Amino acid sequence: MGSSVASITSAPRHFVPSHRCRRGVARMSSAPALVLLAATWALSDTAPAADMDAMAREASITGIEQALADHRYSVAELAGYYVTRIGLIDQNGPSLHSILEVNPDWESLAHDMDRELSGGGPTPDKPLFGVPIVLKDNVDTADRMQTTAGSLALLGSLPRRDAFIVRRLRAAGALILGKANLSEWAGMRSFQQTAGWTGRGGQTHNPYDPARTPSGSSSGSGVAVAANLAAVAIGTDTGGSIDGPASANGVVGIRPTVGLVSREGVIPISTTRDTAGPLARTVADAATVLTVIAGYDPDDPATSYLKDHPPPDYRQALKADNLKGARIGVLRQYAGFNDAVDALLDRAIATLRAQGAEVIDPVDIPTKAAIDADFRKGKFDSDSEIVQETEFKAAVKSYLATRRGPGPKDLQGLIDFDNAHAAQEMPYFGQDVFISSERRGPITDKVYLDALERARRLAGPEGIDAALGKDHLDALIAPTSGPASLIDYIGTGGGGGGGGHFTELAAAAGYPRMSVPMGEVHGLPVGLEFVGTAWSEFKLIGLAYAFEQAAHARRPPGGIVVQ
């Protein structure tokens, strides 16, 4: 089926959430944030809904900046446009369910920004001024919104302060519009977990075909950007949680090198693999957001490298001729799972060559057989799973200790909560990964340390770096995944569209990767993945930008009629 959202020509004055907390859980707190989504808005007479749709749909960051400077619309009108779309499309109509809650203070924040504009602002150090952005619901905000990882267990328990990246976003002028749905606990609860489903927010749907998965775990972030419910979004990634939703929803996603973006104030899974990154409709927008959120944070030791090596302005990488003379290797090992996807890959390779790149096809990850053999050990026994489960048990306890108010304080407490509220939290899948993680030893355990060393070595120095070095390559490419699979609560959970463990490769090494729209298969988007060595974001962004400008492969979702 081809696609999602038609023009909005009218705006209801009130809309209410289509998901509400189940009665038994809602009694735990009377906090206003138990209402998942409530807002009222009417577009002003000077900016009718149809005009705002023409001006703001698919708007880029630079487009928003220019429109505000030209007074074509105000920050409040732009934010109201997105809030209206959330009501019509996300909570009603196609009911994409990508947004868990709208910031109850969005209107006052927007009016404050408009007053700043009328006073001659903003200053040049605010590259995101007035840009509405949504955050995955595992990123702390110390405002009237909740941060829950999609779990009812954390409702009413509040972060003590904004996450580091949220503080940077606010300082850059961004308007934090709301929290996005996800795969509960960022996909950490069960191997049978359904991508994009949470106890708090229900099921997120793909805007190109609501019967299909949005992929996970940053599902709501990807859908919100694709469906024009926000300008840009923040996701998080431990394995494939940024690039998977980017591919499935036809947007750009960047998973940075571990340590480029602080994880302070982000609900953790793995201290050695977690990172946050942008999802956006263009490479330029993603580069702008990454420039804002990257940087040294003394509260996250992983960023210590940046203390003496500050990250560049990634917007400087945006040059259309970046592919001239570039050497790019094709990982056919991670293709071949879908003939139509292979055809898109071949077309992408032709585009790269036409733009002056030297494409070496194929190249191999020399350790792929060993990595695949490790995944076949069993779902609880692979190095990847040992690392994540061991680190999660310790990291989530440390994180929960920072929260104010009621709620579980360790992993066992989360398990107990889910058991006590099984009807709400476990109607489709259980918590086998939680239980396995609770049984793991400490991070000093030799089994864990050996798994960590082996996984990093096979994926990084002996894997990605070896492949890059053998042919003196600038980057590696492969399909991010196949077209989105059907949502399935009974079988596999509908997590993605095939493609092996390519997105896991860079995650295990802690290296960067990014997904850019490559085309569509029967109306469903498919991404092209660019992978490099540590700290190579500038190069990857440059190559991806040049490909994007030449390929013009993204088609916005459209076609679901809003009733």
Q: Which residues are catalytic?
A: 136, 217, 241
Cα Rg of the chain (Å, integer): 22
How is residue 547 written in tokens?
Answer: 């490909």
Q: Name the residue among 276, 329, 335 with its Cα closest to residue 481.
A: 335
| Cβ-proximal residues to 343 (8 Å cutoff; 6+ apart), any chain | none
In the block, tokens 């009108």 appear at: 77
Q: Name the residue among 19, 28, 20, 18 with its Cα closest to residue 420.
A: 28
The answer to whether residues 541 and 559 touch, using CB atoms and an 8 Å cutoff, is: no
Whether residue 362 has a cis bond before it, omega within 30° of 0: yes
- In the structure, how many helices (H) and strands (E) does the chain have? 19, 15
Q: Name the residue among 80, 90, 79, 77 with its Cα closest to residue 37.
A: 90
Q: What is the dihedral of CA 380, 382, 383, 386, to 10 degrees?
A: 0
| Cβ-proximal residues to 298 (8 Å cutoff; 6+ apart), any chain | none
Which residues on adjacent β-strands are paired with residue 39? 15
In the block, tokens 């609560």 appear at: 489
Q: Name the residue among 231, 259, 233 with its Cα closest to residue 246.
A: 233
Task: Give, in order, the Cα–Cα distances in Å from 45 to each of 73, 106, 213.
Answer: 12, 20, 38
DSSP state of 257: P
The answer to whether residues 148 and 247 touch, using CB atoms and an 8 Å cutoff, is: no
Which residues on adjacent β-strands are paired with residue 261? 258, 294
